[in-house]
Amino acid sequence: MNRRRSVPNHRNNATQTEGYHIFYLPLVLIASTISLYLLTLGITLDESKGFTLKFPTSIEDISVMTTFLKHTREQNPSYTMLLFSCAYVYKQTFAVPGSVFLNLLAGALYGPIIGFALASILTAIGATNCYLLSRTFGKSYVLRRFPDRVESFHRKIEENRDSLFFFLLFLRIFPMSPNWFMNIVAPLVGIPINLFFLSVLIGLMPYNFVCVQTGSVMSQISSIEDIFTYSTLAKMSLVAVIALVPGLIIKQLHKNRQR
């Protein structure tokens, strides 16, 4: 039986559909940004003159922010956790670059165990939100913007449909995979949301662990390059290949049954 599917063609009615989607997606972004900003108003910045509460973009930012947020956490741990969680999910939902810095911050604030669990769960939630936004608002735009990449990814998904979960794990664990693109394209190529969530949760655990573990010993690093060494990237690539093995076995067994 031929199980190959084709990506839905929205090009004929792209103008009408895309206009509707592009109008509402910025509203979601604006509403989410305002909500996150209002949440930050609950933190008093008077004790840290010159400090700006923002998304960290450097090791120096994380060092300063860790000192401030540890003090805030002592006064109101639940609120600090809520603020961090919302900021993390916001970045993942809207595919804002720089998740490595929030992972480092998670390790610096909550230690390697709690920080790792928190980063893994929030990564999966935020990526799933991105999946839902793409499915709801972005189909026509993504198909018009990346037609060749979507079609290529769709072919790979169909080729590995019988062992899809393990293939998705491989893609997530492999350090060079474009996670933002997979989050956006996943609903367009027929990846079920439950497999998507689990593949992100489990597949990005090695990446999250490396970042959070490093964040818990911030004094030992001076730049992002100190985190992702050639040795670390090689180990993550090896884990990705190992994750692909069960899928290859399942795929071969399925072929044998069809003979």
Does the structure show a pLDDT above 50 at 154? yes
pLDDT bracket for residue 12 (50, 70, 90): very low
- What integer pLDDT is reported at residue 142 of this predicted model? 87
- What integer pLDDT is reported at residue 11 of this predicted model? 43
- What integer pLDDT is reported at residue 31 of this predicted model? 96
For the chain, domain boundaries: 15-258
Q: Which residues contact 186 (CB under 8 A, 6 or more apart)?
A: 131, 134, 196
Contact status, residue 99 vs residue 59, Cβ threshold 8 Å: no
Concatenate the DSSP letters of all residues of 202-234 into one string. Answer: HHTHHHHHHHHHHHTTGGG-SSGGGTS-HHHHH
Is 174 or 29 the better-scoring residue by pLDDT?
A: 29
Question: Tens digits of per-residue pLDDT, 57-74?
Answer: 888 888 888 888 888 888
Question: Tens digits of per-residue pLDDT, 176-234?
Answer: 888 999 999 999 999 999 999 999 999 999 889 888 888 887 755 656 565 656 666 67
Provide the token pair at 195.
């497999």
DSSP helix/strand/coil, 42: coil
- What integer pLDDT is reported at residue 255 of this predicted model? 61
Provide the token pair at 167.
């293939």
Give the residue carrying structure tokens 């900003």. 37
Does the structure show a pLDDT above 70 at 153? yes
- What integer pLDDT is reported at residue 16 of this predicted model? 38
- What integer pLDDT is reported at residue 4 of this predicted model? 44
The structure's pTM equals: 0.80
Q: Averaged over 132-156, what is the pLDDT?
A: 90
Mean per-residue pLDDT over the chain, rounded: 81
Lowest-confidence segment of 73-77, 97-101, 209-213, 246-250 by average pLDDT:
246-250
Contact status, residue 223 vs residue 190, Cβ threshold 8 Å: no
Lowest-confidence segment of 17-26, 35-44, 194-203 by average pLDDT:
17-26
Does the structure show a pLDDT above 80 at 34? yes
Is 121 or 240 the better-scoring residue by pLDDT?
A: 121
pLDDT bracket for residue 5 (50, 70, 90): very low
Provide the token pair at 125.
């939630």
Name the H helices within 94-223.
99-137, 139-145, 147-159, 164-173, 179-185, 193-203, 205-215
Question: Residue 109's closest CA among 136, 144, 141, 74?
Answer: 74
Give the residue carrying structure tokens 């026509």. 140
| Nearest-angstrom CA–CA distance, 188 and 158 | 12
Lowest-confidence segment of 71-80, 235-244, 249-258 by average pLDDT:
249-258
Rounded to whole angstroms, what are the CA distances from 93 to 26, 55, 168?
13, 15, 19
- What integer pLDDT is reported at residue 99 of this predicted model? 86
Count of beta carbons in the 10 Å neighbourhood of residue 78: 8
Burial of 167 (0-12, 13-18, 19+ CB in 10 A): buried
Q: Which residues contact 38 (CB under 8 A, 6 or more apart)?
A: none
